Each structure stands twice: as structure tokens, then as C-alpha cells.
Structure 1
Amino acid sequence: MTDTETKTGGEALVDALLANGIDTIFGLPGVQLDPFFAALFDSQDRLHVINARHEQGVAYMAYGYAQSTGKTGVYSVVPGPGMLNTTAALSTAYSCNTPVLLVTGQIPSALIGAKRGQLHELPDQLGILERLTKKALRMRHPAEAGETLNALLYEMWSGRPGPVAIEAAPDILAITAPTRTTVAAEMPVAPPFDADKVAQAARILGQAERPMILVGGGAFHASEEITALARMLSAPVQSWMLGRGVVDDRTGLSVNRPAAGQWWRETDAVLCIGSRGEYERATWGLDRDMSFIHVDIDPEELTRAWTPDIGILGDARDVAAALLEAIPAENRKRPGRIEEIAALRDRTRAYLDEKLGPQMAWLDAMRRALPEDGFFVEEFTQVGYVSRIGFPAYFPRSIVTPGYQGTLGYGYATALGVQVAHPDKCVLSVSGDGGFLFTANEIATAVHYNLPLVSVVFADGAYGNVQRIQRDLYGNRILATNFTNPDFVKYAESFGADGRRARTPEELGVSLTEAFKARRPTVIEVPVGQFPDPWPIFMAKPPKGQGRKAMPDYGAEAANPFE
């Protein structure tokens, strides 16, 4: 028989979090959450609470915590405007399949939906949350806390992971009632894969002359198996934003997007695992002689836009392990392929140095300074864009991005969450001056908790990418893309952080090395001008072969960069 105890709703909710192994929560208290934070106060020895200077700050921190660990990131804010301030972080978590849990308040339960103008009242807060998350529920009684939270966590981890939310009215958090002792949520079991389809895929991959592997964030936990597959098949492995580090760039098997585009011209079999493969299919196209094998935990993904030659529903690690067992009986010899991949990597790097030399020089300086076990949080800025093809990744989750959501300004606060999750590691945040000031107020949080995050701010006084488009594609109609910056060194110092300035890649390397050694919150301003345009290289399409399969072709047109 389950034990019962009289608790407040806030205490019951905290106990449910603790029962599920939650030990960190990012949150801003407020009147609708007072009973919940009172319960958090009483559990400080087991649940660490970190506040911030803005609701978006705690939400992004939870995202960074979750994205860099693969564990549940939790944040709590008041309802209404507090919750709405976090929606960009929720949408980023949704786009990147990141396990983020929002705990938010509500107006008094008897007045929900009455539209009587209560503090922080929204017309339908739960409905809003239902459209931004995998699942959102309302806690209606202290006795429901464990059951409600566990249902959300089960949904969070079912199939494709994603954010969830729980809301509770202040009177429900405050009342006392008998509650059962909460046990941890039952976790979903990965669906069994079709062994016959795995055997078919093994036959195709084993007999292929030039196989290739695409990976995404769904393959983070399958790094060892996928690396072994790549070695077995002598196959290059490509990732874009999510999936970086699934295969260590130092193995020589990982290739960036421009190099992968060249291999794609002649590949005869593709294994797409834990990734949509959307860009490659739609932009590069598929030849009738190319077999496409798609492995995904989400059944809808396998037929969302098209039907692959072989679609395998299953966990990336389980299927990769099964392929490792099945391929050797079918596997052909591929002499010279490893050397060919190495030559392709070298040729691509030389091309990037030629066309994007300024960005590559800054990236090289940062990669040399950041320890091998450090974390890199990129932003939507010129150097950040190029980092997707020019900054080597050494292990899964070591590079944090906003994925297809493209969340400008998320970076600094997100990197603080990464630092909280990895207190003994070096974390490097890279932003432009436009995006940095979206959450730069959280320098105060870095100083308050002595989080030794190092942030590099490339300052050109403009939203540079948008301005280039205005200049090059719209007849130099420059509007609303210039701005005035503070002195970022003095700005950082005004919070009590260290401020530095570097004008060359060499100076940046020295500043980073010293900052990582000092283990203090640090902002390094890097004054820059216009950078070369990276997008023609990102969006380059390999020449189409004969007999292409019928596929929607909505990718940006660009010349093949190597011809």
C-alpha cells in the first residue's frame, strides 16, 4: 500500500520533481507561485534553484541545461506575461526535440476562464501551452501532483522528445490535502524495430560502393554505434546543426555540408538516422540509383514528406547496433575510400579558407583555445553561421544550437544553463552584437552565481546578415539594421564580470586562454567589419544526375562551389 502524507500542492509538486531525479530548477518567483517556492525553499538541500533577471533567461538556461546533457531541464515562471516571455525558448526546445519542463502558475482556480481581469490572466493559457509543447496539463489538486507530472514526463520522452508544461492555480498550490508518496514516472520503451527491414538495409549498405550517413539530434546517444558503422562501411558522416559530435571530427569520418554535397553526387546508398534529412532530400535531390534508408523514433517522420526506400521505426542506438551485427555478412571491400574522404575534407577546408577566410581564422583561434572537453554555444551571427561547417565537434552535445528555429539572442542565457550543467567544464558563447543584447542582462546572473562563462561578442554595429540582404538583393535599401552599441568591455565590468577586447584572432586566442584559466564570467568584444557571405556555400547544390526521383525541390539555387 502506498504511504500518504498531508502536503500543500506546492510541496506535492516539489516531491514529484525530486522523485523523478530533478535536482536543478531555473525560476523566478511571483505571487501565483509563492506556495511552490516556499516548498522549494524547504528542499534546497536536494533541489538547487537558480534565478535570473528575466523570464526568458531562466527558460533559455533550462534549454541549455537540457540540450547539453540530454536530461530534463526545468524552469518556473509566473503566468500571463511571465509565461509568454518564455515562448521563444519553448519553441526552440520543440524544434530541437529538447526535454524542457515548464512549471507555471495560474490565476485563482475559481476564476479561470471568467475573464474578470485578474492579475496575469490570459484568455486561454493552457491552450497556448498546448500549442507550444508536446503536452500541457493543469494540476487540479495536491493529490494529482505526482500523477500529472509523471504523465507529462512520459509524454516528454515518448518517441521524439520535446517540451511539456504544467500549470497550477495559487490556491491549489497552497491548500493541504492527503497525497500519496510519488514514485518516478514510468519511462516509455522504444518500439521494436522490424528485423526484416534491418536485414534489407544491411544488404543495401553492405553492397553499396559509396555509402553515406546523415545524423541528427536523435542520434546523440548512438555515437559509439554510428562511429563503428562509419568505419565498417568506410562512409562519411554528415551533420548540420543538431547531431554535431555524434561522430568525432578527429576520426576523419565526419564531413561538413559542402564536402557532403560533393560525396552526394555519386553516393549509391544513404543511411539517415535520427535526422529528418530534409535539406539533403529536398535540395540535393535523390537519384533512382540511390537507396535512401531512414531510421527514426517518430513514425510520422518516416512518411511526413515522402516515403523512403526503407523506413525503420526504432531507437537510433538499437537499430545501429542491429546493423552492426547484420552488415558484415554483406559487406564489400572499399579500398581507398578512407583516403578519398580525407582528401575531400582537405579540399573543402582549403576552399573554406579561400572563400571564408576571416570567419575561419576566428573559429580556428577559438577551437585551439577551448579545451577538448569544452562546450560551444553558437548564435545567429556571421562567425556562428560558419561554425556549423568550420568548428570541429569532438563529442555529442558539445555544440549547442537553436536548430531550425533560428532563435536570435538565445545564446548567452542558454550558455549559462550549459555552464550550470557542467560547472567544471569550459563553456564558450559566441554572439553578434545584435543578438547578444537580447539576454546580456544575464551577466548579472553569471556574476551572482560565479558562473565562469566566457562570451565572445563580434561587434559590427548592425544586424549584419539582414543588412547584407538589404544591400545585395534589395538595391541597398538599408533600413532598421544599424544600431548603437555600448562599450562591451565596460558593460561587462559594470556587472562585476571581466571585460576584454581582441582585435585579431591571435589576440582572441590569448584572451580566451587567460579567461578559461581565470574561471570568471568574461565578455570579450571583437570589433569587426563586413564578412564574406557564407550562404552560397551552405546552400550549394551538387549537379543533378540523370533519372532523379520526383521530389519537391525548394532549396535555394547556388552554383557548385568546387566547379
Structure 2
Amino acid sequence: SGPVLLSFPYNIQKELVDDAILDTIITQRRITAMRNNSLPVEDFTQLIAQANRPVIIAGYGSIKADAQQEIDQLSKCLNIPVTTSLKGKGVISEHSERSLGSLGVTSYSDARSYIVEQADLLIFLGAGFNERTSYLWDKTLLVGKKIIQVDTSPEQLEKVFKADLPILGDIKQVITGVLQQIKIDNLQKKQFSKMLHEKPIENDASLFNERFSLIKAFFNELEKHFSKDVMVFDDNIIFAQNFFNVSNGNRYYSNSGISSLGHAIPAAIGARFAIEHPALAILGDGGFQMCCMELMTAVNYNIPLTVIMFNNSTMGLIRKNQFQQYNKRFIDCDFINPDYKLLAASFGIEYRRVENTEDLNNLFENIDYNNNVNLIEIIIDKNLFPTYSSRR
């Protein structure tokens, strides 16, 4: 009983499927569950000991399990690099030398290339493998690699691939046991240097070229002024995923499931009711128009909130797909925006407009993000979008 989510990845939607095969699909999962408070930590550490270049892939399940500290300890203890799903950003500090950034179709980090070309053991911790994370996966990703998967949900175990060691259990408890076993086995650190493995990715030039300099500069300023204990709610996803490093108690909440527009502002308001940390809502002008009336909710309840709106007068993702896949045949993606300065004035909130890097000077010093409701409008070109679909 209750709601059910059926997830059909984009590439599957484009395939012709013979419905006769549906009755023959059988999924068998081998689950190593907790029994009598015993976990297979010896098997876990044995696989690590046998590996030369293990990598941790952590998802939002790691955050839900409050296992960030244990994962960071495991990574630091054995010098194992960590990449995350989009929702798992910040499991370890993204400023760490052991961080490979987040993984997925909208990421330009070198995580995928390291997994394909270097890693020989993949340690999945609470990763759900939604379309955004796994869309670019192919057979080369797992060739010659051992796999450990730990999750609290039996539905997630071996959902996408077969694991050499699937473990149904609490991630925090599992990693705590592994750390204890590592001391017993006296495992040595692995050879990993971020500087050695970082290399120019051929897609970078086309994915985020110099036209994105204003956006990069903005997120640099954002990190300087919100270096810790900030809550970021993000509809836009792709800019913050690549340019905002999560660390020092910062929390990043992406709307990465169905990606419904207009989520960031009400989500940030709700969170700010519960936790008195600075709250930021990042979204585009299309999403903003779907929920801008909620600014009045923040005003009525005196909820401090800073809204960052990228204004390109279009539905950027839709326009990007029509540009790249439909020969620039644009339909119902462009629109006319209101005067947001006047709109902010009508709400009685603070307003700032950013058109170039000079406008970033003292931007955050001149707004009171601890007490006021603020709207920051960033003007970008409607044709400014990363061309990541060329990698699909």
C-alpha cells in the first residue's frame, strides 16, 4: 500500500522493448545481512587489502546514517579517495585532497575517469544510483573491479549491478567495525595522490568554458562568505554541483529526484524554521516565477532568507536539449521576465543585481543575510549552458 515510484531512465525511454521479456525477468539478490550483531567486516577489509586503488562512492544514505565522520576516517586512514552522488555532496569536505568531487551526468569532475581508468575496488555506501548518477555508466565502468555495496535498504542492494560483497546494514555501524578491523589487520595506506591523478578532461573546455567566468566567480565569493554552517537548497543543480564545494558543516540539498522547479524557496523557508543557520535558495528565473509568492511567507514569518536567481529568460535545460538534440528548434522555452527590482520592492525585501564580476565586490558585505530576506539576480546569456549531452 502507499505511493510507488516507477523510474525509467532516459535511455530506456528511447528504446523499443519487447513486452514478452517482462515475464521472464528474475532478480536474485545475495544479501549479507546482520545476524547476531555480526557484520562481515573481515571480508570487507580483506577486499580492501587486496586492492591497489580502492575508491569510495558515497550517497545520501551515508548522510542519513550520520556516517560522514566514519567515512572520512576510513578515507584518511587508508588514503582512499571519495566521490559522491549529487545528494551526497559534503560526505567528506570537497576541499580535501581525497575528494574527487561528485559523480554524475552533470558533473565535470575527474571522478568517472578515475573509476574507469584507475580504481580496482568500488566501495558503494548508501548510493541509490538514480539516473543522474548512473546515466553515463557503461560496461567499461566495472570491468576488472571488485564491488562492495552497503545499504540499509534491501531494494537498493544489487539493483544496478552485482556486488562481490553486498551488505544490508547500518552504514555507520559497518564502517565503525571496518575501522576496528583495519587496526587489527594493520592495513597500510594506499597510494593515491590527487595531483597525480588529476588531468585535463577533454570535455571540460566545452562543458564549462570561459563564458562561465561570472558564475565561477560568484560561487567563489559565496564560499568565502558562507564557509561553514550554511544550508543551500538548489533547483539549478549543475552550477552549484560543480562550483560550490561543500565542507565545514555546510549542507547541500538538491532537488535531484524529479527535479520539480520552484522547490528551493519553500524548502529553504521550511528548513530555516527548524535550524537557525543561514539559508540560501538557488534557482533559475523559470523556477523562481513558480514560487516567488513564497517570499511573502518569509516576510510574514520574519524568516531570514537569501535567494540567488540566475536570469536567462528561458527554461535553460529545455532550451539546451532543443539546441543539441532538435537542431535549434526552440518551442515554449523562452519567456519575458518582470522587473525583479520592482518585484523585490513590492515584497519589501533587499535586492541586488549582478551583471559582471565587478558587481560581486562587497556583494555579501552589503546584505544582511542573518536577518533579512534578500534577492540576488544574476544575469546570464540564454545560450549559456554546458554541453554535457554530447557525452551521452
TM-score, with structure 1 as normaliser: 0.57
Does the residue aligned with 1:456 lie in a helix, a strand or coil? strand
Inter-partner Cα distance in structure 1 for 2:273 and 2:199: 37
Specify every segment of 5 or more residues in structure 2 that has no aligned partner in the other structure, as ranges.
6-32, 104-108
Alpha carbons of structure 1 residues 343 and 390: separation in structure 2 relative to 1, 3 Å: farther
Match for 1:209: what amino acid? N
Find 1:225's aligned residue among 38, 51, 70.
Answer: 70
Match for 2:272: what amino acid? Q
**Contact 2:125–2:171 under 8 Å retained in 1:** yes
Which of the two has greater helix per residue? 1
Does the residue aligned with 1:251 lie in a helix, a strand or coil? coil
Does the residue aligned with 1:230 lie in a helix, a strand or coil? helix
Q: 1:281-430 counterparts in 2 under 5 A? A: 283-285=137-139, 286-328=141-183, 329=185, 331-335=187-191, 337=192, 340-344=193-197, 354=209, 356-380=212-236, 384-395=237-248, 398-423=251-276, 425-430=277-282
1:213 corresponds in structure 2 to: 56
Alpha carbons of structure 1 residues 333 and 514: separation in structure 2 relative to 1, 3 Å: same
Inter-partner Cα distance in structure 2 for 1:443 and 1:193: 52
Does the residue aligned with 1:444 lie in a helix, a strand or coil? helix
> How many residues in Structure 1 have an aligned counterpart in Structure 2?
349
**Contact 2:306–2:369 under 8 Å retained in 1:** no
- Tell whether 2:99 aligns with 1:254: yes
**Contact 1:463–1:481 under 8 Å retained in 2:** yes
Inter-partner Cα distance in structure 1 for 2:75 and 2:387: 28
Alpha carbons of structure 1 residues 457 and 520: separation in structure 2 relative to 1, 3 Å: same
Q: 1:86-165 counterparts in 2 under 5 A? A: 130-131=2-3
Paired-residue identity, %: 23
Match for 1:312: what amino acid? I
Deviation at 1:492, TM superposition (A): 1.5
Inter-partner Cα distance in structure 1 for 2:226 and 2:88: 20
Match for 1:465: what amino acid? L
Deviation at 1:288, TM superposition (A): 4.2
Deviation at 1:347, TM superposition (A): 5.4
**Contact 2:228–2:250 under 8 Å retained in 1:** no
**Contact 2:80–2:190 under 8 Å retained in 1:** no
**Contact 2:53–2:120 under 8 Å retained in 1:** yes
**Contact 1:376–1:429 under 8 Å retained in 2:** yes
**Contact 1:240–1:388 under 8 Å retained in 2:** no
Inter-partner Cα distance in structure 2 for 1:191 and 1:445: 46
Does the residue aligned with 1:283 lie in a helix, a strand or coil? coil
Inter-partner Cα distance in structure 2 for 1:277 and 1:464: 25
Match for 2:112: what amino acid? G
**Contact 1:246–1:396 under 8 Å retained in 2:** no
CA RMSD of aligned residues (A): 2.8
Instruction: Out of 299-308 and 341-350, give the one that drifted further.
Output: 341-350
**Contact 1:240–1:389 under 8 Å retained in 2:** no
- Deviation string 1:412-454 (CA, Å, 9 cap, x unpaired) is 111111222222x221111110011111101111111111101
Does the residue aligned with 2:137 lie in a helix, a strand or coil? helix
- Tell whether 2:325 aligns with 1:453: no
Alpha carbons of structure 1 residues 227 and 346: separation in structure 2 relative to 1, 3 Å: farther
- Deviation string 1:127-173 (CA, Å, 9 cap, x unpaired) is 8xx2169xxxxxxxxxxxxxxxxxxxxxxxxxxxxxxxxxxxxxxxx
**Contact 2:57–2:85 under 8 Å retained in 1:** no
Deviation at 1:314, TM superposition (A): 0.5
Deviation at 1:378, TM superposition (A): 1.3
1:483 corresponds in structure 2 to: 335
Specify every segment of 5 or more residues in structure 1 that has no aligned partner in the other structure, as ranges.
1-126, 134-189, 541-555, 557-563
Deviation at 1:280, TM superposition (A): 4.7
Does the residue aligned with 1:522 lie in a helix, a strand or coil? strand
Deviation at 1:480, TM superposition (A): 0.7
Alpha carbons of structure 1 residues 292 and 225: separation in structure 2 relative to 1, 3 Å: same
**Contact 1:366–1:509 under 8 Å retained in 2:** no
Does the residue aligned with 1:405 lie in a helix, a strand or coil? coil
Find 2:375's aligned residue among 523, 528, 535.
Answer: 523
Deviation at 1:475, TM superposition (A): 2.0
Find 1:239's aligned residue among 60, 84, 87.
Answer: 84
**Contact 1:243–1:396 under 8 Å retained in 2:** no
Inter-partner Cα distance in structure 1 for 2:333 and 2:136: 31
Inter-partner Cα distance in structure 2 for 1:422 and 1:373: 10
Does the residue aligned with 1:526 lie in a helix, a strand or coil? strand
Alpha carbons of structure 1 residues 222 and 438: separation in structure 2 relative to 1, 3 Å: same
Alpha carbons of structure 1 residues 250 and 281: separation in structure 2 relative to 1, 3 Å: same
Deviation at 1:294, TM superposition (A): 0.1
